[in-house]
Structure 1
Amino acid sequence: MTGTTPLSDLLWTRGYMDPTWIRRFTSAGRELSPSRRVWRGREPARHLPESPSDLDAVDLLTTGAGTLKLPELFAAAQTDAMLVMHRGSVVYERYLHGAEAHTPHFNASAAKSYLGLMAATLAHEGLLDRTATASAYVPELGGTAFGEARVDDLLHMGTQVSYAGRAYDKPTEAQRYFAVIAPQLRPFGYAGPTSIREHLLTARPTGAPGTEFCYENGNVEALAEVLRRITGLSTSALLGELLWSKLGAEEDAYYVLDSDGVEAACGGFSATARDVARIGEMLRCGGALEGRQVIPERVATTITSGVPDGYPRRVRFPAAPEDSPATLSYHDLWWVLNDPYDSYMASGIHGQRLFVSPRLELVVVHFGSQVMSPAVPPAPLVQAFLQIGVHLNSA
């Protein structure tokens, strides 16, 4: 039986386990790769009210090593930034390791959820048919695992895929994707695809779409291409038009690009913590900010309740052990916690989170540069966020 190749055995991925290299990449992506800005628009930045709270003293969790507080959590998560909003006000904001409030930070796979908002909005407006196959919009994807899948399958990680004849292995394929978009990450002798579109064309189905959950970047890149075809806009321009220019953002965001000038939609997005918090607050308020609807209310309010029939109601989080119980749902590229507070989140590698909990009236943004290794246990970010929300609601 062939097991998963440990990332430590892939010589060309060791940079992902060096915290100094990780932080360089998460904070300076546009210095390392071509990029395209997401314009904040002409409107003045929307003020974020402040009501500071001393969260550093709050007991978050009890572990074998004692009581965990925010400073210990930050050390475990290699935290670069954390911002907490409660009832519409910023109650806590902290930057570490040279990060600053105005500096865009890598969002990693949290960007998938932002694309999900765009797709759901276009579907709500009748411009995107969830039941259509991707190849109906992008004919050259015909015959590939993603082209024969429906838009809804892409939005729920519902494809089964093999790339270039390889047996599917998630860690290996994640690193191969990085090699596609970043030449400096390619191993010696690399002869694979050099653009996202070339990469998608090597994908072949290994099972019927819409029957199993498989967390795979290609679903998001295929969906992004669908959105580009139906709108005629780049992913950066579309995000700017539908969302970023309506938030009252303080800064432009940006996507890194592949060799074709196409955005890495599944994880190449960077923005400030304050502006990502504006996304969360807009969602917490039913898609509106200061009385103005930014996205349709139904798109915002059905994130936790709209998993279609036929898709698994419970799925395993990618970082969870293989034998862990399934505790999450997945809808329109958002992770749904199924907790008493209607919480959901956008989540990315190295500790990137946008956490929204409507019943706790809570929004949390966390940016990190945590090493990804079996020898380094993931920091308990979600548990800490929930405890912060419970504390703030009881204060």
Structure 2
Amino acid sequence: MTDAPLANLHWSRGYTDPAWVRRYTTSARELGPSRRVGRGQDAARSLPADTAGIDQLTITAPDGSALTLPDVFEAAQTDALLVMHRGTVVHETYLHGLQAHDPHLNASAAKSYIGLLAATLAHQGILDRDAAASTYIPELAGTAFGDSTVDHLLHMGTHVSYAGRPFDKAIEAQRYFAVIAPPLRPYGYSGPTSIREHLTTARATAAPGTEFRYENGNVETLAEILRRITGATTSALLSDIIWSRIGADEDAYYTLDSEGTEAACGGFSATARDVARLGEMIRCGGAIADRQILPAAVTASIPNAPDGYAKRVRFPAAPPTAPAGFSYHDFWWILNDPYNSYMASGIHGQRLFISPELETVIVHYGSQVMSPVAPAAPLVSAFLQIGTHLQRTR
């Protein structure tokens, strides 16, 4: 079968059907097998609150139009927005029936959490950034991912084709969903039925490190490496290193494939409040009060890559669809603004925005359809304007 435009594919309905989008983003762990990311036994860390009055703030969109916060919510099909400034919750909104205790899909924002785990283990000397992935996963030798280094994976530096098909980012994303979610498989589907099987079909079409190509397989390969070197599931590893130590109020969850492997690149669900706790820990140099959760060097290196990297971490020929001015490091989007801001970003409007200089953390959950008739909401512009407003007025 030849590749058809995405809009004509049976399995593309998840991008364009509003009802399907919201059902999946708010109920992902109920639609198939999932595994708990334990919050630990400690009491939840309280989140002080103080209304900052940003409800009346006017946002200037990149096209010059003026938007109120409700306008932004409508454009982004917002399910939740939580804003923290200097560790205090200054705004918290839930829409479309979502409640504060409800987990919501983080989609590709979850890639950044895998980046944190990898960077931490590399900092500890457990993971070698310069080693080929096949060093850890021998069965991937000769594949695009196996012949790439860990560092290539962390920067989306593989140039891959699956099963001989021409690469198309949107279509390959949907094919990945078909791997992990049987209901999304088109009639007659005969492709891979597990993440590991999917990775073995990848072949290199250029040398690694020659191009930035945003592809889920990089994350899944790295997650498998982390499982091999620690002997722990992705859920257990995230719980042990981060989730059980940030004072989370709720367990988080990963969706699983047919082999019981976590969908590390985007199958993670958590509450907005707990993701805000994660973001605040990162903003504070990996620490919560006097307790160091992650090495300070790991969090500091997100917007300021260590020696050997340019600040704008990009392989040549970044795709024309990439956000202007953005760069990429360890699965985080770097905004290259004056405030050292960076962001975990996922489809349909999932964002964790962290700005050390603005002392601001923002969590946004959404269910926006992906369609030419539904332009992307100006979330980054809104976040920066919220942050600069708070820094001026508080």
In the superposition, the TM-score normalised over structure 2's length comes to 0.95
Change (3 A) 1:135 1:308: farther
Q: Give 2:345's match in structure 1, choosing from 344, 347, 370.
A: 347
1:133 matched to which residue of 2? 132
2:177 matched to which residue of 1? 178
Query: SS state of the match for residue 306, structure 1?
Result: coil
1:146 matched to which residue of 2? 145
Change (3 A) 1:380 1:18: same
Give percent identity, aligned residues only: 66
Q: Aligned AA for 2:256?
A: L
Q: Aligned AA for 2:265?
A: C
Q: Distance in 2 between matches of 1:204 and 1:65?
A: 44
Q: Give 2:333's match in structure 1, choosing from 308, 332, 335.
A: 335
Q: Distance in 2 between matches of 1:309 and 1:218?
A: 25
Change (3 A) 1:131 1:288: same
Give the C-alpha shift of residue 264 in structure 1.
0.2
1:369 matched to which residue of 2? 367
Q: Distance in 2 between matches of 1:310 and 1:40?
A: 35
Give the C-alpha shift of residue 75 in structure 1.
0.3
Q: Aligned AA for 1:90?
A: V
Query: SS state of the match for residue 347, structure 1?
Result: strand
* Residues 188-228 of structure 1, C-alpha deviations (whole Å, 9 max, x = no match): 11000000000000000111111211000000000000000
Q: Distance in 1 between matches of 2:206 and 2:311?
A: 16
Runs of 5+ unmatched residues, structure 1: none
Displaced runs of 4 or more, over 4 A: 62-66, 307-312
Query: SS state of the match for residue 58, structure 2?
Result: coil
Query: SS state of the match for residue 82, structure 2?
Result: strand
Q: Distance in 1 between matches of 2:179 and 2:62?
A: 40
Change (3 A) 1:326 1:368: same
* Residues 270-322 of structure 1, C-alpha deviations (whole Å, 9 max, x = no match): 00000000111001100000110000000001101116747793659xxx993
* Residues 318-370 of structure 1, C-alpha deviations (whole Å, 9 max, x = no match): xx993777411100000000000000000000000000000000000000000
Change (3 A) 1:298 1:314: closer
Query: SS state of the match for residue 362, structure 2?
Result: strand
Change (3 A) 1:300 1:73: same
Query: SS state of the match for residue 60, structure 1?
Result: strand
Q: Give 1:359's match in structure 2, choosing from 357, 378, 382.
A: 357
Q: Distance in 2 between matches of 1:30 and 1:392?
A: 35
Change (3 A) 1:315 1:98: farther
* Residues 28-50 of structure 1, C-alpha deviations (whole Å, 9 max, x = no match): 11110100000000000001111
* Residues 218-269 of structure 1, C-alpha deviations (whole Å, 9 max, x = no match): 0000000000000000000000000000000000000000000000000000
Alignment of 1:172-211 (within 5 A): 172-211=171-210
RMSD: 1.9
* Residues 155-182 of structure 1, C-alpha deviations (whole Å, 9 max, x = no match): 0001000000101111110000000000
Give the C-alpha shift of residue 62 in structure 1.
5.0
2:392 matched to which residue of 1? 394
1:41 matched to which residue of 2? 40
Q: Distance in 2 between matches of 1:325 and 1:75?
A: 22
Give the C-alpha shift of residue 63 in structure 1.
7.1
Alignment of 1:1-395 (within 5 A): 6-61=5-60, 66-306=65-305, 309=308, 313=312, 322=320, 326-395=324-393
Change (3 A) 1:310 1:46: closer
Q: Distance in 2 between matches of 1:167 and 1:307?
A: 35
Q: Distance in 1 between matches of 2:198 and 2:321?
A: 31
Give the C-alpha shift of residue 52 in structure 1.
1.1
Change (3 A) 1:255 1:383: same
Runs of 5+ unmatched residues, structure 2: none
Give the C-alpha shift of residue 12 in structure 1.
2.3
Aligned length: 390
Q: Aligned AA for 1:32?
A: L
Q: Distance in 2 between matches of 1:312 and 1:144?
A: 30
Give the C-alpha shift of residue 95 in structure 1.
0.2
